[in-house]
Amino acid sequence: MKNSDLLPSLLFKINENQLALEAAILELTNWAEKKGSPDVAENVRGALSALDKNEEFIKMTLAMIMFPE
| CA–CA dist 53, 38 (Å, integer) | 23
pLDDT 10s digits, 5-20: 788 888 889 989 999 9
pLDDT 10s digits, 19-44: 999 999 999 999 999 999 999 999 99
What letter would DSSP give residue 68? Answer: -
pTM here is 0.75
| CA–CA dist 20, 12 (Å, integer) | 12
